[in-house]
């Protein structure tokens, strides 16, 4: 198994990067949709509400969920590849905590989407604007941890 993982390493790494890019695109875009939905649309009274709900649902289910799952899958394969991660250093722990936080943020967005769909969103566009910074901060920690390996 270790030989197979070592041989597949460049492909697994490439698929991990593609998955992360797709996931991050959704994590950046969905809160922005929520800003417009919260500020410009009255719940349940317009076709715009239905349109936003459809866009948000499709983004989450068709892009973000599969991208998160594949990010985790390929990331765990990378972790299992011999010689890739030195758990005695700080960087893999910083990345792991940040990925868990990113996953929490994904689940938080999923719950907010359900709030919009049910017509019970109570958060303002400003809240979503602020939360839109979370994936950026986590991405910075992850990238610097992996590249600099502190």
Each residue of 85-116: pLDDT tens digit?
999 999 999 999 999 999 999 999 999 999 99
Residue range 54-93, pLDDT digits in tens: 999 999 999 999 999 999 999 999 999 999 999 999 999 9
DSSP 44: T
DSSP characters for 68-134? HHHHHHHHHHHHHSTTS--TTSSHHHHHHHHHHHHHHHHHHHHHHHHHHHTT-----HHHHHHHTTH
Determine whether 62 is exposed, middle or buried from the number of CB atoms within 10 Å of its CB (0-12, 13-18, 19+).
exposed
pTM of model > 0.85: yes
22: confidence class by pLDDT, cuts 50, 70, 90: very high
Mean pLDDT for all residues in the chain: 95
Q: Which domain holds residue 88?
A: 2-148
CB of 47 within 8 A of CB of 17?
Answer: no
């Amino acid at each position: 198994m270790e030989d197979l993982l070592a041989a597949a390493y460049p492909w697994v790494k490439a698929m991990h990067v593609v998955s992360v890019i797709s996931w991050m695109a959704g994590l950046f875009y969905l809160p922005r949709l929520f800003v417009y939905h919260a500020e410009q649309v009255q719940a349940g009274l317009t076709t715009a509400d239905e349109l936003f709900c459809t866009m948000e649902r499709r983004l989450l289910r068709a892009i973000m969920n599969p991208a998160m799952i594949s990010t985790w899958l390929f990331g765990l394969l990378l972790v299992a590849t011999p010689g890739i991660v030195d758990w005695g250093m700080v960087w893999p722990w910083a990345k792991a905590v940040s990925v868990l936080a990113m996953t929490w943020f994904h689940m938080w967005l999923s719950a907010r989407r359900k709030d919009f769909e049910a017509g019970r969103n109570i958060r303002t566009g400003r809240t979503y604007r602020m939360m839109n910074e979370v994936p950026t901060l986590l991405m910075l920690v992850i990238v610097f941890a992996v590249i600099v390996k502190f």
